[in-house]
Amino acid sequence: MTVPLFTGNVIAVIWDFDQTLIPGYQQVPLFREYGIDSVRFWEEVEALGSFYAKAGLAVSQETLYLNHLLTYVEAGPLAGLNNAKLGDLGGELPFYAGMPDFLAYAKKEIESIPEFVNHEITVEHYIVSTGLRQMILGSRAASHIKDVWANEFIEAPAPPGYLEQGVQTQIAAEVEISQIGYFVDNTIKTRAIWEINKGVNVDDRIGVNDHIDHADRRVPLQNMLYVADGPSDIPVFSILNHNGGRTLGVYNPDQDSHFRAVKALRDQKRVQHFAEANYEPRSGAHRWIMTTLEEMATNIVRAHQRALDDRVTRSSKHIN
């Protein structure tokens, strides 16, 4: 007897973070805490590529800002910064109207509809961000999120010979971040989608490059809804648009330039819909997301019913 690996009854709502869940960037409370001139910092990051190119060095544009943060730690302006501090600063992040309560609301509403309960349909929230993972985990959204893909720092790197010496991982208040442990760019964002799709994040026996039949994947692409705002999200938008998933672009209502940028995504058919980043009841984003989740759940129910009809031969009935 063939037993399916997963049941395919999970809906994944995947969120970008900066300018999608919060009206700004995660680094704001960090720079404020340490008195860093944020404009100057980002100017320096922007110029780093050409700075290193003059020395004949090829550098990754995606890791420049992370390495520059570490340079600030080592040089003194961010002295003492560690993961615990990043988590504390994450607690200061302000959210758009309706967030993060909407995360709990959406999950509860869909999972309480009797028809969906009968088919054990569940909603999971994920964050895939080019921001800082520890700040996201320290934010008010963290308790509603199943998993987070974002940039991670290492505080105490394993020294040479650590296997033989029995060195333990150090987590202490006085240990600063010193290395990049994980980074996210637009390519890694697509990797996160495939990891969710195959169930890599819930079963460490599965690898992202392992072959798994589509019928056995934990979260089919058509069961995914991606909400984001920027160019780094275009590859994920493309994957879901071409595979039955749903995509929503959101914009900061206080920024005309952001509205135009997200509207351009809609005009170019990169997203299926766009709305103001407001998640309160009766807002456009709230209504579109909830309607879409109900449609996705209904499609799962119909797929289950079709499978039942295809695999069950009805018994004959008595003729009157």
Structure confidence by residue, pLDDT tens digits, 73-111: 999 999 999 999 999 999 999 999 999 999 999 999 999
Residue 266 is which amino acid?
R
pLDDT of residue 173 exceeding 60, the answer is no
Strands (E), the chain: 10-15, 122-132, 147-154, 179-182, 224-228, 246-251, 273-276
Please give the pLDDT value at position 313.
60
What element of type H or E holds 302? helix 284-311
Residue 277 region, left (φ>0) first, then alpha (ψ -120 to 50), else beta?
Answer: beta
Residue 116 is part of which domain span?
10-311
The CATH number of the domain where 207 resides is what?
3.40.50.1000
pLDDT of residue 13 exceeding 80, the answer is yes
Within a domain: 4: no
Within a domain: 243: yes
Q: Average pLDDT, stretch 247-261? A: 96
Please give the pLDDT value at position 243.
96
pLDDT of residue 192 exceeding 60, the answer is yes
DSSP-assigned letters across all residues of 253-292: TT-HHHHHHHHHHHHTTSSSEEEES--STTSHHHHHHHHH
pLDDT of residue 72 exceeding 50, the answer is yes
Q: In angstroms, rounded to a whole number, what is the distance separating the alpha carbons of residues 99 and 20?
A: 10
Domain count, the chain: 1
Q: Are the CB atoms for 166 and 181 separated by under 8 Å?
A: no
Within a domain: 124: yes
The model's pLDDT over 178-188, given as tens digits with 9 standing for 90+, comes to: 999 999 999 99
pLDDT of residue 1 exceeding 50, the answer is no
Within a domain: 320: no
Q: Find out whether the peptide bond into 100 is cis, omega within 30 degrees of 0.
A: yes
Among 39-43, 122-126, 212-216, the range scoring the smallest mean pLDDT is: 212-216
Within a domain: 2: no
Q: In angstroms, rounded to a whole number, what is the distance separating the alpha carbons of residues 21 and 269?
A: 22
pLDDT of residue 222 exceeding 50, the answer is yes
Within a domain: 1: no
Within a domain: 192: yes
pLDDT of residue 317 exceeding 80, the answer is no
pLDDT of residue 220 exceeding 90, the answer is yes
Within a domain: 5: no
Average pLDDT, the chain: 92
Burial of 152 (0-12, 13-18, 19+ CB in 10 A): buried
Residue with tokens 């979260």: 219
